[in-house]
Structure formats: C-alpha cells, structure tokens
Amino acid sequence: MRVGISSWTYPWSIGVAGFPTPRRPLRLSDLLTRAAILKVSVVQIADNLPLDLLDSTELNNARDRATKLGLTIEVGTRGVEPDRLLRYLEIAKILNAGLVRTLISCPDRRLSLEEAEPQLRQVLPKFAESRVILGLENYEAHRCIDLANLVRRLESDYVGVCLDTVNSLGALEPPEYVIETLAPLTVNLHVKDFVIERVHSKMGFTVRGVQAGCGMLDVPSVLKQMPSQDISVILEHWPPLESSIDDAIALEQEWAARGVEYLHACGCN
C-alpha cells in the first residue's frame, strides 16, 4: 500500500472558511514539496485546493514537478454533475492521475443516491475509456450500505469507494461496521484517527481528531481488510484550531510527520 498526504492533511495551512486565514496559505507547489520531504509517494489534491481554478500551464507545471519528485497525483472534487466530473477527468489526464475522488453532494446541493446514479452512469464510460477510477467517498449524508449498493449497481471496474475511517460517525455508523461494509469496494483509503470523550459535565460526548495511531481507530486491522495492496493510503486528520492559527498549523504539520511515520511502521510503503 502506498502512503500519501492530501490537501486535507493541511486544512489550517490552506485555510478554512469562516476561520482565521494563514499568513501565507499553502499552495499546490508547497504540498508537493512537503510530500517529498515526508518521503510519501502519493499526493491527493482535493476540494479545499480546487484544481479547476488552475490554467493548463499551472497544471502542466504541477505534473512535471510531481514527476521530478517521484510523486503520483490523485485529484478530488465534490459533486457528481457530469460537467464537473468530466472536467476533473480531463485534469486527471493532464496530471497523469489514476483516481478522481468525489463526494455525492456539493455544499449548495444535497443529492440522494438515486439522483446521483444516472449522473454517474453518464460519465463512467469516459472514465473507463481513460482508465481513470472514480472514488465515491462515504460521509454522514448516506448510509454505507446504500453507498455500497450504488457502487455494485454501477457494475464498473472504474468506480469504487474512497473509504474514510471516521466520516460516517455522523450517521451513527461505527468504523468497524463502515470498514466491513465498504472494504471490498475500496479503491482509496483515508486514515483519520479519533477519540470519543465525555464532556466535563459527564452529560454527553465529544468526537475529536487525534494524531494517527494515538486514538481509537485500529489502523492495522483496517489495513488488513483492504482488498488490494496497490491502493493509496492517504493520511488525513482533524487538528483543533488551538489558541491561534499559527499554533494550529504547527500542530497539523507535526501530526502529518508523525502520522506518516506511523503508517510506514504499519507496513505501508
């Protein structure tokens, strides 16, 4: 399994809407440099660093830099509108990316899986023709079994699940169930660790992110259930804001370095 980082490995460094802005937001070139420093082989560029805002020269430069650094690029967006997915397919081809990850819904429109299915069917022949895989990420809007059934109905080798280990907690689905349900269909794994703790009053719980390997997620067990040794394992996390944006950025950089070390120790390349 190939270890990678994502633009969601550095959310505070890039900038989170509604929160303090970093003094120098992380750019695509910076993300590629960090991947090389961390000695990972994959970089997933997702919706918080949108590639459709870049022109062809910038995309070509990113591809050439990634090649020079020995990095494989994966791309990501949100939504399943055919025009959007076909645009990202073209971006993937420019970047020599073999995977486009997406979520079913955009922030301004929540789709049912039934509404999404015909849109996915419309674009999948183009993905198959280009030999690019479409990864649908699980999250709290849809039950995992329903997402799994959608992927099975689509009957294509070029669509699968981008399995996030924590996102479905919002649908009251624990990681063990999520992984058991989605692992056979997984084409890309997001490792995100967490803890659940009682609030100080003892009346309720909080879910918070922690450094990979320091929480409740049984990462070695998750890795063993993956259907292929060739999938990318992308480190993501939910670092807290801390007392300032600078402290939050420093923390996520530390978590990134330690998390990559942990995934290597778990046997990922």
- Using the predicted structure, report yes or no on whether residue 215 has a pLDDT greater than 70: yes
Residues 263, 233: Cα–Cα separation, whole Å: 8
Answer positive or negative: Cα dihedral of 210, 214, 220, 221. Answer: negative
Model confidence pLDDT, tens digit, residues 86-125: 999 999 999 999 999 999 976 677 889 999 999 999 999 9
Contact of 48 with 7, CB cutoff 8 Å: yes
DSSP string, 181-224: HHGGGEEEEEE-EEEEEE-TTSSSEEEEEE-TTSSS--HHHHHH
State both tokens at 136.
């649908």
Contact of 100 with 129, CB cutoff 8 Å: no
Residues 180, 183: Cα–Cα separation, whole Å: 6
Closest to 219 (Cα-Cα) out of 172, 171, 166, 182: 166
Q: Which superfamily does 2-265 belong to? A: Divalent-metal-dependent TIM barrel enzymes (3.20.20.150)
Q: Is 179 helix (H, G, I), strand (E, B) or coil?
A: helix
Model confidence pLDDT, tens digit, residues 152-205: 999 999 999 999 999 999 999 999 999 999 999 999 999 999 999 999 999 999
**For residue 14, how many other CB atoms are within 10 A of its CB?**
20
Distances 133 to 74, 101, 104, 166, 269 between C-alpha atoms, Å: 10, 8, 15, 22, 21
Domain boundaries, the chain: 2-265
Model confidence pLDDT, tens digit, residues 30-80: 999 999 999 999 999 999 999 999 999 999 999 999 999 999 999 999 999
> In which region does residue 75 sit, left (phi positive, over 0), alpha (psi from -120 to 50) or beta (all else)?
beta
- pTM of model > 0.85: yes
